[in-house]
Amino acid sequence: MQDNVYDVLLERGLIAQTTHEQEIRELLGKEKVTFYIGFDPTADSLHVGHFMALCLMKRLQMAGNKPIALIGGGTAMIGDPSGRTDMRSMMTKEQIDHNCECFKKQMSRFIEFGEDKALMVNNADWLRDLNYIEFIRDIGGCFSVNNMLRAECYKQRMEKGLSFLEFNYMIMQSYDFLALYEKYGCNMQFGGDDQWSNMLGGTELIRRKKGKDAYAMTITLLLNSEGKKMGKTQKGAVWLDPNKTSPFEFYQYWRNVSDADVLKCIRMLTFLPLEEIEKMDSWEGSQLNQAKEILAFELTKLVHGEEEAVKAQESARALFSAGNAADMPTAELADEDFTEGSIDVITMLVKSGLVASRSEGRRAIEQGGVSIDGEKVTDIKQTVAKDAIGDGIVLKRGKKNFRKIVNA
């Protein structure tokens, strides 16, 4: 008998909060559930922060449920204040439509679209042409301003000032849930843990307008070392688009996760059997490097296909063997070497002893002789974030001069 997919999600550490745990478990165990996850098209590529949601949709579809990928073409014109301390820049309709098309292509690698399979829907279809007075009369009375202001996403913004435009975001997202319930019988929503208040708004709106139960469940957020969501606007964003983050860079990102995070990432993000993962729980030392290779390979295969994953793995191994990773000289960077959490490549070259001066470092970059983890450095002002160094990166000058750069 197939395991209840809810139990699988729980065992993999993917579930953060639920509205009705027992009912959700029963529904996912016996019915084909139509559920949705929203994606805000604020860039022209999905990124690692979306990866959790895509994997969740894939798991639920494999268990026989019907996903709706809701593209926020309408809500993106407002901007989600969740997890923000500043206001998002406004986007034009044309920018949003372009980004929606890019998302559609990338999602198809994870989810099977088609008749009675996954759907892709854009909330602009019902939000852009709403009549304001009709909408406020019909929906506005279902929301308490007092309750909304208690929501975590608004509390964070109140200190710096919350615009009325952003204040509407929760109402719009709640209305999405109602629209999907009416159009497609969608009665379950999944999303990031920072979306909890918005999701509760949707379940409550369906209860008040339809007298029916709807369900919400949040997935654990993928956080970076600063405790911030891996996002679309961070300098070190890892994109799923190979033109923005190459398959090799994508592989290296996962290959360099910390020892403390590797098994958690394998459990949450890969589709390896849990029995296989549980055997890794006792791994330590050099075995954790093997675990990182497994993680990097599996995720690169999922996003870019097996051929690209094999190429990335071979390149990474060749890079380290070329420099005899075990014997490779190591350079440690102290906290004071970083400015606002990052360090420029020229400073790294000098600190590691690969060049004698900054001018020599600049020349080496201009001549195309410097690379980081196999990727050529072309900008003399390029910087590397401290948390991107992870377990270490390989800085190379010329053909035979390597240093493994690590944080002290």
Q: Which residues make Cβ contacts (< 8 Å) with residue 333, sequence separation at least 6?
A: 343, 348, 351, 386, 389, 405, 406, 407, 408
Measured CA to CA in angstroms, residue 104 lies from 87, 107, 241, 274, 344 at distances of 26, 5, 12, 30, 36
Model pTM? Answer: 0.75
User: What pLDDT sits at residue 77?
Assistant: 67
The rounded distance, in Å, linking the Cα atoms of 252 and 254 is 5
Chain centre to alpha carbon of residue 222: 7
**pLDDT tens-digit map of 20-75:** 999 999 999 988 999 999 998 888 999 888 888 999 999 999 999 999 999 988 87
**pLDDT tens-digit map of 203-217:** 999 999 999 999 999
**pLDDT tens-digit map of 91-145:** 777 888 888 888 888 898 899 998 889 999 999 899 888 999 999 999 998 998 8
**pLDDT tens-digit map of 256-266:** 787 878 888 89
pLDDT confidence of 87, banded at 50, 70, 90? very low
User: What pLDDT sits at residue 86?
Assistant: 47
Is pLDDT at 156 greater than 60 in this prediction? yes
The rounded distance, in Å, linking the Cα atoms of 247 and 300 is 7
Q: Rounded to the nearest 5°, which phi and psi values hold at 23?
A: -65, -40
What mean pLDDT comes out for the span 150-164? 79
Q: In what order do the strands lie in the sheet with 66-71?
A: 15-18, 215-219, 188-192, 34-39, 66-71, 119-122
**pLDDT tens-digit map of 318-352:** 776 654 555 567 888 888 889 888 899 999 999 88
What mean pLDDT comes out for the span 287-302? 94
The rounded distance, in Å, linking the Cα atoms of 47 and 59 is 19
| CATH-assigned architecture of domain 326-408 | Roll (3.10)
Q: Sign of the CA dihedral 283, 288, 290, 292?
A: positive
User: What pLDDT sits at residue 373?
Assistant: 80
What mean pLDDT comes out for the span 345-369? 90
Residues of the chain with CATH 3.40.50.620: 5-219
The continuous run of DSSP H or E covering 266 comes out as: helix 259-269
Residues of the chain with CATH 3.10.290.10: 326-408
The mean pLDDT value of the chain amounts to 85
Q: Just give the CATH number of 5-219.
A: 3.40.50.620
Domain 246-322 has CATH 3.40.50.970: no
Residues of the chain with CATH 1.10.240.10: 246-322
**pLDDT tens-digit map of 227-238:** 656 533 233 678
C-beta separation of 33 from 27 below 8 A = yes
C-beta separation of 118 from 69 below 8 A = yes
